[in-house]
Amino acid sequence: MAKDFWAKHENLYYALTNKKVIFGLSIVILVFLLAAFGPLLTRYEYDEYAGQGYLPPSSEHFFGTTIDGKDVFTRTVHGLRSTLLVGAIAGTIATLIGCIIGFVAGYYGGTIFDELLMMLTNIFVVIPQLALLIVIAAFLEVRGTFVMAVIVASTAWPWTARAVRSQTLSLKNQEYVSLSKISSISVGRILREDIASNMFSYVFMVFIQQFNGTMLATVQLEFLGLGPTKGISLGLVMQNAVNWNGIQLGMWWWAIIPGLILTILITALYFINTGLDAAFNPRLREM
Amino acid sequence: MGKYLRKKLMIYIITFILAVTINFIIPRMMPGDPIQSLLSRFSGMEGGRQILEEQLTLLFNLDQPVWQQYLNFWKSVFTLDFGISIIQFPTPVIDIIKRAIVYDLSVLFPAIILSWIVGNKLGAYSGTDKKVDNASMPFFYFLASSPYFWMAGLVAFFFGVVLRWFPISGAYSAVASPAFTWNFIKDFLHHWFLPFFTMFLVQLGGWAIGMRNMIMYEKSSNYSKYMETLGSSKKLIRKYGFRNGVLPQVTGLALRIGRIVGGAITVQVVFNYPGLGRMLLDAVQNQDYFLMQGIFLTIVTMVLVANFVVDIVYMFIDPRVRLSFTEEV
């Protein structure tokens, strides 16, 4: 039974036995657990006065306290939740938009339709993302989680569209796709069943990369004070630290640790991606 | 060759038109009333009433039909007349931009070029040497995963607070005044180093990873294997792989410039470095819409020009584009 299963899902087997994937996945799970259960480990609210200010990490305050006596651990885990949520929603939206445009443009490769879609994509590629986001976010006075995600996703999709398009171009002349075409199967079904289903592992890796990118874009916006208007976020914790001279005062637990967690998470996701790349590409597997 | 450039140029022109249009539309579409907030700001200033009227006529012209407003807006773009800043009243926006752009270019230009060169070299080494690869890749991934502003905080904390080697705020000391003297240049470079180093470090990781992957793919290609069977040295195989792998890295440079400029905005905030990014944020926080529009356009233009330069460079190093323009697939 088990053998049959692994024989059928060979890719999954190679993926889950890859050292980089195992290493990355363990860290990602740890960080997600921290975001999920972290708030239960602390007695404080993220915005309440939790004790003396300027305290380095201790068993009482895991990540120390801010200058005005708030618990950095509490702020970090709550902020992590918000940032992960925005990043995940934005990453999903961006992957979807990118894939749809990529599939359609690739399938109609060489036509005017493809040219137009690619022109749109190329325009979005060159527009400086963060500057545009700042201008958009500045005029939206109230920003919720979902609005944030849409703002971030609206500038994150172009490279995915390009990558998916070139993959589609290489798939669409395969014989089984031609067979579907002469069987007058609808375009939507060909894209879904013949092309998308053969690119599942690729799209999954694209999603991980999108997730990385959207988290970075989100945390940058949050750091500039243009994150969700309510609640706390990882970028906001660090913005406070910089604004209150946390770096000059040597409060590394306030200015460095929250970002370190995010950086480690993104590094781990990169590791998973490299591992998956090796698992899905037999050419790289022997390395 | 001509067609290649024409096509790229067309994309950039459309993008520029789009950016100007975004600039035009956003204040008119968004909730909130910029005019009210302007009124309250200017009412206290001397001669504020008159300035305000001029500003509003220039940028909004709300009594005219929309197409007329749009044309006027274009006119102000071509005459570089972005209005007058509110935070630094009554300095024209264009003067603020001229002053700030020096700080952007002096950090971005060396950081992008150096990190690209060094990153590609390091990536090529780890792509051909398994030991180097295992030791250095986690480090490169870590660099590439860092948010720019976080790396800025880390660098500022380590080199500025712990070691006290570099100042971590401003572009020059408070006592110094900009002049073309040796002392000022030294002071400027002293302040310049950490923002530059931050930008350099984060990008370095990305380039190294990219080149390492390119070399890996090139190494599994037939020509590399053939060279290996002929007994070519590792160094020679790397050299050939590098020449093939460097092309996508140049295209990658064009793709990333926008993101790098974005990162620079946050780095300038951490180091309180008075470039365009820092000014853009100030403008947003103080609802200085004229300054914001001017800086946004400047940043877009900078990125477009940089992209175009990269395209021209690419044309010279890739013989396939130079000889005949073929559609990339």
> In chain A, what are the domains?
34-284 (1.10.3720.10)
Indicate yes or no: CB of A271 within 8 angstroms of CB of B11. no
Indicate yes or no: CB of B281 within 8 angstroms of CB of A219. no
Q: Is the pLDDT of residue A77 over 70?
A: yes
Cα torsion at B220, B222, B228, B229 (round to 10°)?
130
Per CB-CB distance under 8 Å, the chain A contacts of B281 are: 134, 224-225
Q: pTM of this prediction?
A: 0.88
Mean per-residue pLDDT of chain B: 84
Q: How confident is the model at residue B23 (pLDDT cuts 50, 70, 90)?
A: confident
Phi, psi of A65, deg, nearest 5:
-125, 160
Q: What's the pLDDT tens digit per position in B111-164?
A: 999 999 999 999 998 888 888 888 898 999 999 999 999 999 999 999 999 999
Burial group, residue A35, by CB count within 10 angstroms (0-12, 13-18, 19+): buried
Give the span between the Cα atoms of B224 and B240, in whole angstroms.
Answer: 8
Nearest to A209 by CA among B225, B308, B210: B210
Per CB-CB distance under 8 Å, the chain B contacts of A267 are: 138, 141-142, 145
Instruction: Give me the residue from B32, B270, B284 closest to A141, CB to CB.
Output: B32
Could you tell me the end-to-end alpha-carbon distance of chain A, in angstroms, rounded to an integer?
30
At which residue do the structure tokens 């900009």 appear?
B178
Q: What's the pLDDT tens digit per position in B220-251?
A: 888 888 998 998 888 888 888 898 888 889 98
Instruction: Give me the residue from A127, A138, A169 closest to B329, CB to CB.
Output: A169
Nearest to A44 by CA among A20, A5, A77, A88: A77
* Mean pLDDT in residue range A23-40: 92
Q: Is the pLDDT of residue A275 over 90?
A: no
Q: What's the pLDDT tens digit per position in A101-111?
A: 999 999 888 88
Read off the tokens for B172.
């020059």
Residues counted in chain B: 329
Give the span between the Cα atoms of A256 and B157, in whole angstroms.
Answer: 9
8 Å CB contact between B77 and B17: no
Cα torsion at A286, A205, A258, B196 (round to 10°)?
80
CA closest to A137 among chain B residues:
B284
Percent of chain B topping pLDDT 70 = 85
Nearest to B23 by CA among A134, A177, A57, A283: A134
Give the span between the Cα atoms of B212 and B122, in whole angstroms.
Answer: 8
**B326 vs A144, higher pLDDT:** A144
Task: Mutation target for B interface from A130, A151, A252: give the one with most B CBs within 10 A.
Answer: A130
Instruction: Give me the residue from A128, A169, A250 closest to B299, CB to CB.
Output: A128
Helix and strand numbers (H, E) in chain B are 13, 0
The pLDDT of residue B106: 93
Q: Is the pLDDT of residue A127 over 50?
A: yes
C-beta atoms surrounding B63 within 10 Å = 9
Indicate yes or no: CB of A126 within 8 angstroms of CB of B220. no
Taking the alpha carbons of A271, A275, A280, A286 in that order, is the dihedral positive or negative? positive
The pLDDT of residue B204: 95
Phi, psi of B84, deg, nearest 5:
-115, 135
Cβ of residue B35 closer than 8 Å to a chain A Cβ: no
How many Å lie between the alpha carbon of A96 and the closest alpha carbon of chain B? 20
B83: left (phi over 0), alpha (psi -120 to 50) or beta: left
Cβ of residue B178 closer than 8 Å to a chain A Cβ: no
Give the span between the Cα atoms of B270 and A224, in whole angstroms.
Answer: 10
Give the span between the Cα atoms of B61 and B26, in whole angstroms.
Answer: 15
Q: What's the pLDDT tens digit per position in A183-222?
A: 888 888 888 888 888 888 889 999 999 999 999 999 999 9
CA closest to A222 among chain B residues:
B266
The pLDDT of residue B328: 45
The complex scores an ipTM of 0.89
Give the span between the Cα atoms of B135 and A137, in whole angstroms.
Answer: 41
Read off the tokens for A283.
């050419």
8 Å CB contact between A195 and A168: yes
**Residue A155 CA, distance from chain mean position:** 13
The pLDDT of residue B43: 66
* Mean pLDDT in residue range A112-122: 88
Task: Mutation target for A interface from B266, B288, B298, B310: give the one with most A CBs within 10 A.
Answer: B266
The pLDDT of residue A287: 42
Instruction: Give me the residue from B14, B157, B284 closest to A252, CB to CB.
Output: B157
List A234's β-bridge partners, or say none: none
Q: How confident is the model at residue B61 (pLDDT cuts 50, 70, 90)?
A: low
How many Å lie between the alpha carbon of B253 and the closest alpha carbon of chain A? 11
Task: Mutation target for A interface from B10, B37, B150, B300: give the one with most A CBs within 10 A.
Answer: B150
Instruction: Give me the residue from B27, B209, B303 closest to A139, CB to CB.
Output: B27
CATH number of the domain at B102-287, out of 2.60.120, 1.10.3720, 1.10.3470, 2.40.30?
1.10.3720
Q: How confident is the model at residue B57 (pLDDT cuts 50, 70, 90)?
A: low
The pLDDT of residue B54: 66
Give the span between the Cα atoms of A38 and A81, in whole angstroms.
Answer: 9
Give the span between the Cα atoms of A100 and A98, in whole angstroms.
Answer: 6
**A85 vs B285, higher pLDDT:** A85
DSSP secondary structure of B11-78: HHHHHHHHHHHHHHHHHHHSSS-HHHHHHHHHTTSTTHHHHHHHHHHHHT-TTS-HHHHHHHHHHHHH
Q: Is the pLDDT of residue A41 over 50?
A: yes
Give the span between the Cα atoms of A162 and A119, in whole angstroms.
Answer: 11
- Report domain extents, chain B: 102-287
Give the span between the Cα atoms of B61 and B287, in whole angstroms.
Answer: 19
* Mean pLDDT in residue range B64-92: 81
8 Å CB contact between B214 and B248: yes
Q: Is the pLDDT of residue A24 over 90?
A: yes
Task: Mutation target for A interface from B28, B35, B97, B141: give the one with most A CBs within 10 A.
Answer: B141
Q: Is the pLDDT of residue A16 over 70?
A: yes
**A68 vs B323, higher pLDDT:** A68
CB crowding B26-45: b at 16 or more within 10 Å, else e:
bbeeeeeebeeebeebbeee
Cα torsion at B308, B318, A274, B254 (round to 10°)?
0
Instruction: Give me the residue from A166, A248, A287 closest to B161, CB to CB.
Output: A248
Indicate yes or no: CB of A125 within 8 angstroms of CB of B157. no
Mean per-residue pLDDT of chain A: 87
Give the span between the Cα atoms of A244 and B326, in whole angstroms.
Answer: 55
Percent of chain B topping pLDDT 90 = 35
Which DSSP category does A65 fall into?
A: B
The pLDDT of residue B42: 65
Give the span between the Cα atoms of B268 and B26, in whole angstroms.
Answer: 25
The pLDDT of residue B329: 37
8 Å CB contact between B218 and B226: no
Nearest to A98 by CA among A150, A149, A155, A136: A155
Type of residue at B108: L
Q: Is the pLDDT of residue B31 over 60?
A: no
Phi, psi of A73, deg, nearest 5:
-60, -50
Q: Is the pLDDT of residue B273 over 80?
A: yes
List A65's β-bridge partners, or say none: A71
Instruction: Give me the residue from A131, A241, A266 closest to B145, CB to CB.
Output: A266
Indicate yes or no: CB of A220 within 8 angstroms of CB of B148. yes
Cβ of residue B47 closer than 8 Å to a chain A Cβ: no
Give the span between the Cα atoms of A173 and A169, in whole angstroms.
Answer: 7
Q: How confident is the model at residue B81 (pLDDT cuts 50, 70, 90)?
A: confident
Q: Is the pLDDT of residue A6 over 80?
A: no
